[in-house]
A and B are shown apart, each in its own frame.
Chain A
Amino acid sequence: MAEKQPKPEDLAQVDYRPPKKGWMDPHVDFRKGTYCYSALAKNIEYLGMPNPRDWQPFNADWKLPPNWKQIILDGMKDRLEKYRSFRLFMDICVRCGACADKCHFYVGSGDPKNMPVLRAELIRSVYRRYFTPAGKAFGALAGGRELTEDVIKEWFYYFYQCTECRRCSVFCPYGIDQAEITMIGRELLNLLGLNINWVIEPAANCFRTGNHLGIQPHGFADSIGFAVDELEEITGVRVEAPINRKGAEVLFVTPSADYFGTPHYYTLLGYLQLFHEIGLDYTWSAFAGEGGNFGLFTSHEMIKRLNNKIYAEAKRLGVKWIIGGECGHMWRVIHQYMDTMNGPANFLEVPKSPITGTVFENAKSTKMVHITEFTSDLIRNGKLKLDPTRNDHWNVTFHDSCNPARAMGLFEEPRYVIKNTCRNFHEMPENTIREQTFCCGSGAGLGTDENFEMRMRGGLPRANAVKHVHETKGVNVLSCICAIDKANLSTLMEYWVPGVEVAGIHEFVGNALVMKGEKERTTDLRGTPLRGKEAAHA
């Protein structure tokens, strides 16, 4: 029988407001454009993780293992005993609301469950129900929630709507780190085989070939060789780019996007120029050809396994210390986890610049120096000949990438390098930079094509600040020091602020660097004619 047909006057009663729904209701609509696809079984198997199977978030049946509930509760118990931080974060929140409007996803989407306090509450409510006397006795009255399949789906939806950027933690009076809660939430989901492919495939690739993209060693060498050839065409200088060379002083590790994607590629050209010009005794590695560590978005165990590859390779090659390139979350791992997971790296030496003699005391334990620390030290000691007019076609602003900024406090060095290589620089508003920087909206593995709408929502606060300096100061390039940023901010700018490009800082270094024996430069690294050299280029 046909459903009852509405009358015209019923049709006129359209309510445009969203239905009222309490936060304890876990039901989630997996609407296209707002979630990432699931991890493929073959990638989960490759990493030896549990419960691999084919499923998708939009399916009604997620094919959970029969004892899924016990797996989650046991997993929570293990982690509450193992990580004091997790237990503390479950107990300590007073719901003051200081974090509520600080999340870029909440600011851009308006979904209340993207308030950090409420995102944490999704798991905290289960903790209360099953691990506190009040919750066990009084259930919902004590803020507890039953663990149901809908709760698991809700966790998946919202813990993969957190980029682990840690902006909210800056404002929390108790220092609750929402990223840590998201990480535990994802670890628990992993126990049921629930992860996203954009995280698990790169992690599996990294084990197999040494980089996220699955590029094999000869492909890696081809990419670097290609860059060397192109650099010679632009500058007239043939640079050396040694790979897997034992006995070099320094191992250089950078994200794989630098040698495969754009605009990352121009940053790669800048690194190659710089290391050649100062005569650095260094090597690339095809096996540690990835700075990124997607373990950070998977589990603590996976962080350790992937980070270990870099240090194992440093040991195998016999280098003295490591320089890390323009990467984001690699630096959170190095700065906050490496030392207790795989360190201290006592088989290496405390980094000392062979060019300036500067000892990097801050890297005494990890033995790994950030490229902008290294380059700013070179500039400060007058070791580079720079012509900033070669960047006059750029009007620059700087996006503090979340992890180097908030996780390691790297604020001044990137700005110092920019100001010495470019003549036009403008900061974005104060509450959108440095430790308060807004995330690009695609970190922690969320930069997928299928998640496009959610990324645009999450990236709005950042784009909005860029739009301001674009309109008021004429800014035409957004610089940053993170590979995920470079990929996502390019997309974000195309949607929100057309006319603004994205660049790495070492692209500016490469443009400005006056190399010994170079030919007259008429274009920048992108092939764009330099100011005043248009005729020569034509």
Chain B
Amino acid sequence: MALMESLHGRRAAILERWLQGVMETYPAETGRFFTQVKDPFANPVGATLSRELAVLCDGVLGLAKPAEVAPALESLIKLRSVQDFSASQVVSFIFFLKQIAREQAGEALRAAPMAAEWAAFDARVDDLALSAFDIYSANRETICDIRLGEMRRKIFMLEKASRLFDEDPEPSGS
């Protein structure tokens, strides 16, 4: 508990470092744009990253409810699922939290007697990463479904016409 309470006090710094780490997964020029342009319609990626990371940070620190965390994670992973990342790169940013939390915790909290509390913290981060990977996989399946639907819409008239024949089949044996 001592660990979590201490991390609650460092919440703003943890979030800032985390956001910075995520921005560094994009090219340098772009990280600046994603960070500096505040209009959510001119900069939807930056707005999504900063909004949802705050919720996820609170989730790991036990400051937000799972019902709040789930949509935030979904929104963020949906975005990264179609950006220029491999599957592991999509979810990798979640593991940054382990390192950042240790940096922010200070020397005393990194000492051996805190091992159990750190293990519990790391498990929360791992849970979040596993959920993220589930969402990523579901997104990729959704993409397959959407692509199939798109192909069908393009030949709508053919389908419509063939369904007509299905509804009015030739009598058998004729």
Chain A residues with CB under 8 Å of chain B are 14, 16-18, 20, 31, 33-34, 100-101, 106-112, 115, 222-223, 226, 257, 259-263, 265, 429, 431-432, 449, 452-453, 456-457, 460-461, 464-465, 468, 487, 490-491, 494-496
Contact = CB atoms under 8 A, between A and B. Distances in A.
B165 interface: no
Contacts of A452: 82, 143, 147
Q: How large is the interface on B (under 10, 10 to 19, 20 to 34, 35 or more residues)?
A: 35 or more
A404 B103 CA distance: 54
Contacts of B27: 18, 110-112
B155 interface: yes
B150 A487 contact: yes
B41 A109 contact: no
9 contacts: A14-B92, A18-B27, A112-B29, A112-B30, A115-B29, A260-B155, A260-B156, A461-B41, A461-B44
A110 B147 contact: no
| Residue of B24, B45, B79, B84 contacting most chain A CB atoms (<10 Å) | B84
In the A-B complex, the 3 residue pairs with the closest CB atoms: A110-B30, A262-B156, A464-B44
Given A260-B155, A449-B147, 15 more contacts: A16-B24, A17-B25, A107-B44, A108-B45, A110-B33, A110-B83, A111-B27, A226-B160, A263-B153, A452-B82, A465-B41, A487-B154, A491-B150, A494-B149, A495-B78
Given A20-B28, A110-B45, A495-B143, A265 B37 contact: no
| Residue of B27, B39, B157 contacting most chain A CB atoms (<10 Å) | B157
Nearest to A219: B157
B119 interface: no
Given A432-B41, A461-B41, A261 B156 contact: yes
A429 B157 contact: no
Nearest to A115: B29
Nearest to A450: B147
Contact of B39 (A431, A449, A460): A431
B42 interface: yes
Contacts of A106: 30
B43 interface: yes
A101 B43 contact: yes
Interface in B107-161: 142-143, 146-147, 149-151, 153-158, 160-161
